[in-house]
Structure 1
Amino acid sequence: MSKDLNDHICEDKVFESIYNKYLQDLINFLYYKFGSQINPNDIAQDAFIKLWDNCKSVTLSKAKSYVFTVANNMMLNEIKHQKVVLKYHQQKPKDYTIESPEFILEEEQFLKRYQKILESLSEEQRVAFLLNKVEGKKHSEIAELLGITQKVVEYRIYSAFNILKKELEGFKIK
C-alpha cells in the first residue's frame, strides 16, 4: 500500500527516510550559503528536530521545503545574534566617572543623614511618606491600604516632608 502525499510524517520509518534523503543536501546548502562559521551540522539537526516536533502538521510532500526553510531561518537568526554579540563586545565599558571624590563622599554623608532622619520620623509619617515617594502609590491608595482618610495621609506625608526639608539642606523631591 503506497503512502499518500498528504499523510503526515510521524511514523519512524517515514521520518527516517526523509532524514537520510535530505540531511546531506541540507548541510551542503547551509554550508554553501553561510559558510562554516556557524556549524551547519548543528543547524541541520535542529531543523530536523523541529520537523519531528511538528510532524503532524507537515505533510510528506512539504517536508523538504519545511526543513530547508526552518534551517535557513535558524541560520539567519544565529547570524543576527552573532552581530548583536559582536556589537556588544566592541563597546568599551565606561571606566570613569564624572563625579569627584568629594561629591561621592558628600553623597554618602547625605544618604546617611537622610536615613537617620527617616528613622526619627514617627512610624505613621515614615510609612505614608515611603509608600508615596518610594513605591509611587497615590494618596487614595495609601488611605485604603492603611484604613485612614486621604486627608490624614496627606498630613502625614507633608509633615514628614517638612521635617526632612528642615533637617536636610537642599532636600527636594519630584
Structure 2
Amino acid sequence: MPGIEKREFITLFNEMFQPVKNYVYYKVGDIEVAEDIAQDAFTKVWEKRSEIRLKTVKSLLFTIASNLCKNRFEHQQVVFEFANNYSRNQWEVSPEFELELKEFNAKLQQEIARLSEKNRTVFLMNRIDGFTYREIANNLGVSVKAVEKRMKNALTELKKTIEYKL
C-alpha cells in the first residue's frame, strides 16, 4: 500500500537530507543552492506522500533533486537568452554583424555555462537580473567581498576564454 506517514518522513529526512544535499552540491558547486534544492526535493516528496512507496522513495529523492538542478540551470539560460535578445532587437544592424553577434553570444553562453556555479550565479544575478553586489550578497547570504571576488573570477575566466572580435 503506497503512502508515507509523518514519522516515516521524519526518519527519511534525518537519514537522507545530508546525502541528497551532498549529491546536489557535487552537481551545482554551491552549498546554499544545494541546501535549497535538497529541501525542495523533500517538499515534493511530502506533497506526494500518499502516492509514494517507502521502498522506492530514496531513489526518487535523488531523481527529483537531479531534475530540480537541471530545471534551475535551464531557467538561468532562458533568462540570459531573453536579456540578450531583448537588448539586441533594439538596434538595426547589418546581417554580417548579426551573424558575428550570434556566434559571440553562443560562445559566451557556452563559457558562462562552464563557470563554477558560485561565479555563474553572481555573474547572472548582476549582469542579467541587475542586482547590486550588496543585493546579491544579501540573497546568497555571503559578504559583499565574496560577491566581488566571485564576479572578478567570473570575468577573468570569461576574458581568458572568449576572443572579442567586434
Give the structure-1-normalised TM-score.
0.48
Give the structure-2-normalised TM-score.
0.50
The higher relative CO (CA closer than 8 Å, separation ≥ 6) is in 2
Structure of larger gyration radius: 1
Larger fraction in helix: 2
